Structure formats: C-alpha cells, structure tokens
Structure 1
Amino acid sequence: MQRPVCGEAGRHPMSPFATSVTLISLWGQAPAASGCGLTAKPGVVSIQMCKSAGKSGDRRMREVGALSEAMDLAWGSHFGTYEFRPPAALTWSPGMLKIYGLSRQPETIDAFKAMIHPDDRGRVDAEGVEFIRSGLDVYSHTFRILRPDGTVRVVLDRGTVEREAGDGSMVFRGANVDVTDEVHLNYSVERQLRVSEERYRKLFNAIDDGFCIVEVDLDALGGRSDYRVIEANPAFYAQTGFPPAILGSWLRAAAPGLEEHWFETYARVARTRQPVRFESESNHLGRWFDVYAFPLDHPEESQVAILFSDISSRKAQEEQAQLLLGEINHRSKNMLGVIQAIARNTMTGDGGEFVTRFGERVAALAATNDLLVRNGWKPVVLEDLIRSQLDAFTAKTSGQFLISGPEVKLSPAASKALGMALHELATNAAKYGALSVAGGQVSIGWALEPGKDGETFRLEWRESGGPTVNAPQRRGFGWTVTKRMVESTT
C-alpha cells in the first residue's frame, strides 16, 4: 500500500538540518527532482523534497521536517533520517532512535560508530573514506548494529552529501531502514535453496541409476533431430560406457554408431512434452537399458531429463531362462517318449510282471538322469554311467563285475541310450546269464580304436561261468534299446 504525503506541516525536530534540497531513494533509482512528496510501501521507499530556489530556509526546513515525520509514521521503528555535519554536529529523527534502541541520540560520531557491529566497523569506515575520496554525491551501504540490549539488527544506510566549494565542508543527509527481517528472509530462502541444492547434488552423485539432462535439437542438419548431454551423474558414464568428454558434444557426431531410435524418442518427448518409459537395446553400446525420459519445465529450451539403468544382466538372465525352459520342454518330451516306449515294450505277460519290469526300467532311466543333472547336463564319464546302472545288482552279485577301459565321455543323449542298454544287459544276466549263478562273472571293457575315419568306440559285455543260453527266438526291448544306443552314438 502506498501513502503519498505532500504539503506543509509544523516544525519538526529534524528541521534544523533541512537547509538544502536533497533526493534520497532507498531501493533502486532515485525519482525525478520535481514536486514534493513521499511514497512508502514495503520494499520501496522514496523521498522527494521540493526544489525551489525561491523558498526561504525556514520553509525548506519545515518541508523536510514534514517528510521525515511522515516517514516515521509510515515505517514506524523501521525508518529514520539523520544529518551529520563533520566533525561533530549529529541530528537524528525519532525513527533513528527506535532503530538503534536509544532514548536519545549519540553525542558524537564516535559514539555512533561504537554501535556498529565490530565485524562490520572496519568495512564501514573504509567505505566512508573511499566515498569521500571519490567525490560522488550519493552513498549507500548495509551494516549490522549492536543495540544496548545486545540484539543485532541490519541497517540499510543511504544518503547524499553536500560539498561546500568555499571551505570544503560537507553535510551528510540520509536515511536508515531496518532491513533485518528482509535480510533474514532472504538468508532463509537462500539457505533453503542451498540445502535443497546440496541434497539434490548428493542424490545426483550417489544414485546407482544413470541420470542426465539432454538438450534436443529438433531441426538438426539434414532435418534429423540430434541431442547432447549437458549434465550427467557418475552412474551415467559407468552404465553407458561413454567417456566424460562426451559432455556437451552432439551425439550424431560424437557417437555416429548410436541407433536412430534414441534420437527419435528424445525428440518426441521434447516435442510433445509427454514422458515415456521403455526398454531398449543399444548394439552400439552393447547394453540393454530401462529408460524413463521426461520433459523439463521450459519448452523453449527443449531439454529432456533421462533416468535409466543398465538391465543387460537381467535381459541375459531372462534369455537364459527362456532357453532353459525350452530345453526342459524338449527334454521332457524326449523323456515322455522314452517312457512311452518302455511301457509299450514292457507290456507283455501278466500285470504283476509288467509293474515290476516297468518300474525297474524307469528307475534305470532315472539313474542316468540323476547323473546328467549332477554333471550339469555335460558329457559324463563312461565308468560313472556303468556303475550307476549296476548299483542295483552289485548288492546281490558282489565281485561279479570286472570294469576296465580308458576315460571316455559320452554326450547326454548317448548316456541315456547306453544306460538303458546296460540295464537291459544286466537284467538279462541276472535272470538267465552269468549273474544268475554264484560263480558267474561279467566283464565290461571298452576302447578307442584308430581307423581310417578317426577313432571308433568299442564296448564289450562278456559273460563267463554262467549257464548255457540259447539264441532268443525274438528280439525284445533290450535289443531295441541297444540298437538305438548304437545309432545315437554313431
């Protein structure tokens, strides 16, 4: 709210100093020197005193006194005026007394200086000396004062000096405004901004996710968009592999192999002002990224903020999981096919025998499967496979097996087929052959024999000490499995 004051008022205690025209503007530029008046509002105060050569000294003193009184009324304890005629003549308005917490004005300029805060006193003295030396007419500075009750206030001091050409004397006329609240408010706001900036910077540098701000050129050379990184956190460089030198460089020139979809996406965000979340791969960088891009507040700057994380490991795990599921599906189908074949070929004789034989064959298949799982579905050692299939028989036929041969590894497919063949051979030996009598013995040997087309794997199952056997009249499941085993390993 503005309070204009103009006109003549009664004599004011300040009137003795008001003997010349002066102009004071406390905040900003001084007003034009025409007319007379006062305008006061929070943050803006201007005093304009009438400039007329025809007025008497008393008239001028009354005008200045009226203006000073009006200022005191408008600003209360926040505003005061003064006159100082060096070396000792000092005159204060009531407003000055309120600002400094005094009941009467200081008797000397040194008494006034003693009220300036010790930390500011030297600076104020130096500024005064420099002002006098400069020959300027208007001065302004801010300093702290120490009231008698110990409180500290901040004062804005602004005024003019009248220099007498004859004797070199000077008259200082000015005003003080208590700006403590404004300074504290500004300090509080600045401090909050500083704290907020520090927090942002700590978070900016500490987060594991990459973050950058890019400037988008929507009309780059050739009609294509381009962008450059203008701010980035440490994780940006770690997750993209870009060097710090990339900062500020246009990406089409700095990273010519970067895919087109990155430029198109960020240009769309800058143009439409709509955020976007997506996952995408960069073959140029050799990585997958989960990206959230959003526009910043000023459309004319075409800036986009990008928060992202390197999800290459997750994508590799997902791909591996898909491959594993596919492999499990494939192996499950194969396993079901084998079980179905076992069931079909076992379905002879009475039901009791079927259950027994089927269970034994599935157990043999499971033993081979367990061995493959323990070995990570990698090629297995042949001797381990043989022993896994003979475990079911060794408890009853201790010492009846002789196993010998070099180390040979078989593929998972060959292992399953050979495992079933060994089970069938051992079952037949236990029923009809060498393992059916106490003195019988089974020798299992193998070798890698050189040939024209490379090495040939040869495995021999030889029984001795058993009963005489006749050639079978038909080919059963054992024959079928053995034949498939041979076919799968050739």
Structure 2
Amino acid sequence: MRNAFGGKRIPQHVSEIDFRELLASSPNPYVLLNRDLEIAWMNDAYLRVTMRDRDGIIGRNMFDAFPSEGESYRQLAESLDRVLRTGEPDEIAHIRYDIANPDGTFDTHFWSATHTPLKGDDGQVRYILQHTVNITELETLRRTIDEAGVVERAKKAEERYRTASEELERARMLLEQAPGFVAVLSGPEHSFVLANAAYRRLLGGRRLIGRTIAEALPEVVEQGFLRILDEVRATGKPYFGNRELVTLVDPETGKAEESHLEFIFQPISEKSGEVTGILIQGYDVSEEVEAEERQKLLINELNHRVKNTLAIVQGLAQQSFKTDQGDHGLDVFAARLAALASAHNLLTEFNWKKADVEKIVRRSLEATAGTQSDRYSLTGPKVTLDPQSAVALAMVVHELATNALKYGALSDDKGSIAITWDRRSEEDGSRLIFDWRESGGPAIEAPTRRGFGSRLISRAFGNRGDCADLTYHEDGLHCRLETKL
C-alpha cells in the first residue's frame, strides 16, 4: 500500500492513518515541493509562520513565492539541489531568510530547515518535504547573550584603558615636572614625540612635537649631534655626553648661547631588537662648570698672588736686614709688612679687582702716620688701580710717609704734606699722575747713596714708560710718579 504522497509502501497495521491529515494538523511548519521546486502543498502552520494564504503561494516556485538573494538564496538553493542529486536528506542548521510582511515591509528571520526526499517506485525523487523551524527568537536571544558578553568585555577593556590612560598621564606629568630635560625621538628622521618643560626651556620654547631634529634644531646638526643619533639608532648602543659644550640659538633673538650639558642618548628597542626611537635625558650643568672654572681661576690667581707676596716679603726682609741694624731693622721690616697687609686688606674688600687711589693712600698713611692725619691732605678724582698697581702704590706711600716721619715734614711740629693725583688721557690710553709734596719741615739734602726706599719708589709699578722723579728741596721732598692705567 502506498503512502499519501505516492512514496514507499507502508505496513498494513498503519495503513489506515491519514498522513496528509497528520502533517496538516502538525504544529510544525511543513511545505511540499516538486522537482521543479514548485509549492505542491503546505500545512496551516507553514502558512502562519510565513504570513501567507494558500492560494497566494500554491503552484508557485519557492523562490518566486519567497524571493531572496545573496547568501540566503545560495544556502537554500544548494540544499534543495543536493537532495535532488543525491536522493538523501539535507539540513540547513541556520539560515537568515527574510520574508515580506503583509504590508510589504521586511523583518529579519532566522530558520532551521530539514529537506527530506520523497521517491517514486523508480527510486527518483518526486517531492521534497521541507520541515521549517523559525529560530528568530532563539537567534535574538543568542545575540543578546553574545552582546551582553561583548558589552561586559567592552566594559572591562574600557576599565583597563582608563587605568592605563591614568597611569600614562601620571607618567607624563612626572616627566613634565622632572628637573632634568627629557625628550623622545621616533623614526629614522628623529622626530620629536615628547619633550618636557625643562627641555623646552633649554631650547627657548621653540615648537618641537612632530618636527625632526634637523627641522627644530638645525644648529646641533652642524655640531655633529645628528650623526651621533644616527649611530645610536644603527648600533643600539647608548651615547653619553659628558659636560659637552653645545651651542643653541635663541629662536627670538637669533643669539647663539653656549651651554654645558650632561646627557645620554638611550636607544628604545622593540622585542625584535629593532631600534625605533631614542630617549634623551640630561641636565644643564653650565653653572656648575662655570663655578669650577672660576674656582680654578681663583686658585691660580691665589697661587700667583701668594708667590708675588712672598717675593715682596723676601725683598722687604733682605732690605730691612741688609745691614746689622738690630731691633731697628726688625721694626722697619714689621712696618713694611703692616703696609703690605693694609694694601691686601683693601684689595680683599674689593674682591681683588680694582681699588680706589684715595682709599689706598689714606689706608697707607693711617698705617704709618695715623696720629698725624691733620698734617696731610688728599686731593684728586676717582681713579682705580688693578691689584698689582694698588700694592705698589701702597708700598710707595708707606716709604714716603716713613721718610717724612724720620727726616721730613712729619719729623717736627710745623711740616705738612699735600698729596694730589689726576688722570691724563693719551693716545695709547690713560695715565695716573701722582704727586707728593712736603713743605714746612726741616731742611733736607739729597742722600749720598740710594737706599731701598728710593729704589722701590723709582721702580714701583714696573711698567715700560713709567716715570718717577724725586726732588730734594730745602723746604721738603717732592715726589712725582706717572704710570699707565
């Protein structure tokens, strides 16, 4: 006995079952297609799920009744073709196949379909029974679950990103506030991707980010630093700059300024070992270097001055004790040392730069004839002398004052001394004119031989072109000195 669709024979004990009625009453959607894929029959469940009426689709080709294209068409057409070719059932577990609504709009639908061949006595496929299940709700639920997972993963990723961003911002702020200068260069052209405040200050606030070393700092290219950066990138070895002298140009004034920098060019490498950038980190040690150089100069100057002072002391000792003068020689030596010390004290007050003539003379007189300050007068403009000339003038004044106390104007109650000085301009510079004139004292005569004091006065400043003139008048000594300033 044949079944309701002309298929295989079925056992006698179920022959009374009306399978057409059975499928028609099934809550599951069924549709029957012939070999030309024309709709031969469908149950009510199929009509409900597809939102169609029987007369509207019966006898029509499946793809005319339910148009589709693209992947949906390909999946359904290939499955039906396999059933016709092989005579074996075929399944489509998941297919998106949109169906038009009665109003002509489209909603997205997902289906699961089973295609079962129904054969005739000749074994050829006559019909294909399609069992269709609308899984749109399941697909929506699955996507909702997936989307929930995606959202959760996105939240976690966002949290990680926010944390990383906060850490990056903290690191950036630390670098920005670092006392030393920091910059990061990227690529073979060494383009700036980071430069902290100290680095920007060092370079006069010029624009750096996105510019190459050659564009932003052309002056350092000429000094060979671009070549050094290329070597660091090529070799992967850091370069240490030890107090290197770097000339930088002020972008506003165009003035070149030299700085001593202590720095490192540190290569930035990837896991592969490739150098992709260079970290620059260092300090401006210009003030430190200048302080050390000043200290060296001061030490050298101090050494020079000590040697000169010792030479002067040696000369004073030799002259003071040249003859057997006993305690008198010691007194003369002590007085000369006091004058020398007074000159040094004055120079110390002026940091061993230049000292004022008026102060030099006054200090020397106070050290020698301080109790008789009403017996001498000082007149002259403001003139300053270098340390060597200042010491020389102080010793000259000491010798003249000592001589005046012993033999000249200060040796009695009537004499006085007029001390004047002036500056005279000449073609090759300026000259100091110093004049010591005694009067009112006892009559004096020129000595029969030149002593230490006379030689010291005549050679006081030691400059070529100096002039020293000592005149012994009956009324008192007159000393005139000229030296180049």
TM-score range, shorter chain: 0.5 to 0.7
Do the aligned residues in 2 keep the contact of 1:239 with 1:309 (CA within 8 Å)?
no
Name the structure 1 match of 2:239.
276
Q: 2:414 aligns with which of 439, 443, 456?
A: 439
Q: Across the two proteins, how many residue pairs are aligned to each other?
A: 335
- Following the alignment from structure 2 to structure 1, what is the Cα–Cα distance between the partners of residues 152 and 134? 39
Distance 1:236 1:169 in 2: 65
Matching of residues 272-311 of structure 1 within 5 Å: 272-279=235-242, 280-285=244-249, 286=257, 287-298=259-270, 299-311=273-285
Aligned partner of 2:193 in structure 1 is: 230
Residue 454 of structure 1: how far off its partner (Å) = 7.8
- The TM-score, its normalising length taken from structure 1, stands at 0.59
Query: Please, which of 329, 334, 337 is the counterpart of residue 362 of structure 1?
Result: 337
CA contact (8 A) 1:216 1:267 kept: no
Q: Which residue is equivalent to 1:347?
A: 321
Give the aligned CA root-mean-square deviation in angstroms: 3.9
- Residues 53/325 of structure 1: CA separation in 2 closer, same or farther (3 Å cut): farther
1-side partners of 2:29 and 2:333: how far apart? 127
1:380 aligns with 2:379: no
Query: Is structure 2 residue 176 aligned with structure 1 residue 205?
Result: yes
Aligned equivalents of 1:358, 1:273: Cα separation in 2 = 71
Aligned partner of 2:170: which letter?
R
Give the 3-state SS of the residue equivalent to 1:377 in structure 2: coil
Change (3 A) 1:455 1:235: closer
In structure 1, C-alpha distance between the alignment counterparts of 2:281 and 2:107, rounded to whole Å: 56
Instruction: Give the structure-2-normalised TM-score.
Output: 0.59
1:244-272 CA deviation, whole Å, 9 max, x = no partner?
1x433333355433234312322232233
Q: Say which SS state the counterpart of residue 360 (structure 1) adopts.
A: helix
Secondary structure of 2:211's partner?
coil
Query: d(CA) in 2 for partners of 1:266 and 1:454?
Result: 52
Structure 1 Cα separation of the partners of residues 430 and 441 of structure 2: 33
Match for residue 249 of structure 1?
Answer: 211
Q: Secondary structure at the match of 2:362?
A: helix
1:338 maps to 2:312? yes
2:51 equivalent in structure 1: none
1:472 to 447, 457, 460: 447
Are 2:291 and 1:320 aligned?
no
Q: Determine the structure 2 residue equivalent to 1:141.
A: none
**Percent identity between the aligned chains?**
28
Q: Which whole-Å deviations, capped at 9, do the CAs of 1:325-354 have from their partners, x for residues lacking one? A: 332222222222222221221123344333
Range with greater deviation from structure 2 (199-208 or 187-196): 187-196
In structure 2, C-alpha distance between the alignment counterparts of 1:329 and 1:465, rounded to whole Å: 45
CA separation in 2, counterparts of 1:457 and 1:215?
Answer: 65
**Larger-gyration structure (1/2):** 2
Distance 1:403 1:170 in 2: 119
Which amino acid in 2 is paired with 1:270? R
Q: Which residue identity lines up with residue 211 of structure 2 in the other structure? A: S
For the structure 1 residues 446 and 301, does the alpha-carbon distance in structure 2 shift closer, same or farther, using more than 3 Å as the test? closer
1:419 paired with 2:383, answer no
Please give the residue correspondences for 1:4-403 in structure 2 after superposition, counting only pairs within 5 Å.
Answer: 135=108, 137=110, 170-173=136-139, 174-175=141-142, 176=145, 186=157, 189-217=160-188, 226-241=189-204, 243-244=206-207, 246-258=208-220, 259-279=222-242, 280-285=244-249, 286=257, 287-298=259-270, 299-348=273-322, 349-403=324-378
The answer on whether the counterparts of 1:215 and 1:301 sit within 8 Å (CA) in structure 2 is no
For 1:172, what is the secondary structure of its paired residue?
Answer: helix
Contact 2:29-2:133 at 8 Å conserved across structures: no
Aligned partner of 1:6 in structure 2 is: none
SS of aligned partner of 1:470 = coil
Give the gaps of 5 or more residues in structure 2: 1-27, 31-74, 76-87, 94-104, 112-129, 250-256, 464-482
Deviations 1:262-293 (A, max 9, x none): 12322232233233332312224432221122
Contact kept in structure 1, 2:355 and 2:386, CA below 8 Å: yes
One-letter code of the match for 1:248?
G
Specify every segment of 5 or more residues in structure 1 that has no aligned partner in the other structure, as ranges: 1-17, 21-32, 34-51, 61-131, 139-163, 218-225
Deviation at 1:398, TM superposition (A): 4.4
- Counterparts in 2 of 1:430 and 1:312: CA distance versus 1, 3 Å: same
Q: Secondary structure at the match of 1:485?
A: coil
In 1, are the aligned partners of 2:109 and 2:134 still within 8 Å (CA)?
no
The one-letter amino acid paired with 2:381 is: P
